[in-house]
Structure 1
């Protein structure tokens, strides 16, 4: 049995963190759980610790990139074979963890993405989120030749090689799409599997119309720059 850790990045998720942790425990008894508390000002850390899981308290809010890299550094340091990312807002269904892990165990993938769009699911989502996913699917296909349909999904499983890669290099701002592009250009095997996702159980998304525009421009530029750098390195 591989050594598996679930990394939960959490920022002010006191309303949902308890149920997220308990759902993982109920459906996946052989995994360890790490909550990376990203400088929360509420009771997120206290509730997580009361659930008996490992908690890393960051001194201030680093954002999802710094939060997840902290988790991957922990996973690499302590020798985990597989690391799974699950959001703290209740959108991800822990019952799909076994399906996320399976392609890694069969050596078919280095990174497995839980996808809302690779086949028909009940997930609807906002117009902005769907538009962003379609755009980044097109962009990644054009630049890497690989079609990834749920580029913004935060429900992912990474093997030991990807854990090491992420522990050394991870984008700080809106990283989901950028890391897929980097892994694809670096020759890692990426696979999507269909999963069900839900609307967040508490709190609110930080993505509004203005942030969506910033997100698309920032990530697009980051991917283009990375592709140019990769080509230059290959020529050298």
Structure 2
């Protein structure tokens, strides 16, 4: 029986990168899966929504800007409501090539993980991000290891696969701001199996990163505190 896979594409002003991304995604065929993309338009001020609709892609237009965490959770709520077997977050800026999707699915099939993270840093191929951002990612590697005991080398990666259990949990409660490092603590505390697999990412095609202040002390402190609170609070 075919598994239904929802591709969640959170977008804020991604009109420059979205046409090529959607065109490539539509061409991806993976045996055993029905792939259905949904664009979560996070109150963009450009033609993001119109471009997606022109390519006959389902669009969720958010009435206010929720940020990356809220946009992803909106997609996960959609996945839960319509009983998808799996969901994959794939950013709308072109950094996550659709052809790499098969690697996440292969890891999921071989490990039966609840969450699979696409990592730039295991085989160190493709776009590796800036030096300052890599320093921050290295910091969150050690912080995540302290809180979870896991070796996750690309804890800020937004290229990730959720199984049905992860969809259900995240649709109820998911970090709203800079969610990737914090959510790993949340999923690990829930007893979920988390795996990381090497992927090749590309540089951003257009638009602006949602974490432009990534290397700032403020960002590191804020996310560190959020991870700490996730580690000590009770899972509902």
Scaled by the length of structure 2, the TM-score of the pair is 0.93
Aligned to 2:45: 41
Could you say if the C-alpha distance between residues 79 and 209 of structure 1 is closer, same or farther in structure 2, counting changes exceeding 3 Å? closer
Could you say if the C-alpha distance between residues 210 and 109 of structure 1 is closer, same or farther in structure 2, counting changes exceeding 3 Å? closer
Conserved? CA contact 1:5–1:32, under 8 Å: yes
How far, CA to CA, are the matches of 2:67 and 2:183 in structure 1? 15
Aligned to 1:152: 156
Any idea what the Cα deviations from partners look like across 1:77-110, whole Å, max 9, x if unmatched? Answer: 0010000000101001111112211232345311
How far, CA to CA, are the matches of 2:212 and 2:54 in structure 1? 33
Gaps of 5+ in 2: none
How far, CA to CA, are the matches of 2:24 and 2:78 in structure 1? 22
- Which deviates more from structure 2 when the two are superposed, residues 22-31 or residues 196-205? 22-31
Conserved? CA contact 1:128–1:209, under 8 Å: no
Structure 1 residue corresponding to 2:54, chosen from 50, 54, 57: 50
How far, CA to CA, are the matches of 2:147 and 2:8 in structure 1? 29
Structure 2 residue corresponding to 1:88, chosen from 92, 95, 118: 92
How far, CA to CA, are the matches of 2:91 and 2:214 in structure 1? 23
Aligned-partner SS, 1:34 = strand
- Which deviates more from structure 2 when the two are superposed, residues 165-174 or residues 114-123? 114-123
Total equivalences in the alignment: 231
Aligned to 2:64: 60
Structure 2 residue corresponding to 1:125, chosen from 109, 129, 132: 129
1:118 Cα deviation from its structure 2 partner:
1.7
Conserved? CA contact 2:136–2:214, under 8 Å: no
Any idea what the Cα deviations from partners look like across 1:34-76, whole Å, max 9, x if unmatched? Answer: 0000000110000000000100100111101111110000000
CA RMSD of aligned residues (A): 1.6
Aligned to 1:3: 4
Aligned to 1:14: 15
Conserved? CA contact 2:73–2:171, under 8 Å: yes
Structure 1 residue corresponding to 2:105, chosen from 78, 82, 101: 101
Conserved? CA contact 1:128–1:212, under 8 Å: no
- Which deviates more from structure 2 when the two are superposed, residues 153-162 or residues 213-222? 213-222
Could you say if the C-alpha distance between residues 199 and 92 of structure 1 is closer, same or farther in structure 2, counting changes exceeding 3 Å? same
How far, CA to CA, are the matches of 1:116 and 1:187 in structure 2? 25
Could you say if the C-alpha distance between residues 6 and 189 of structure 1 is closer, same or farther in structure 2, counting changes exceeding 3 Å? same
Conserved? CA contact 2:133–2:214, under 8 Å: no
Q: How does 1:65-214 map to 2 (within 5 A)?
A: 65-209=69-213, 212-214=216-218
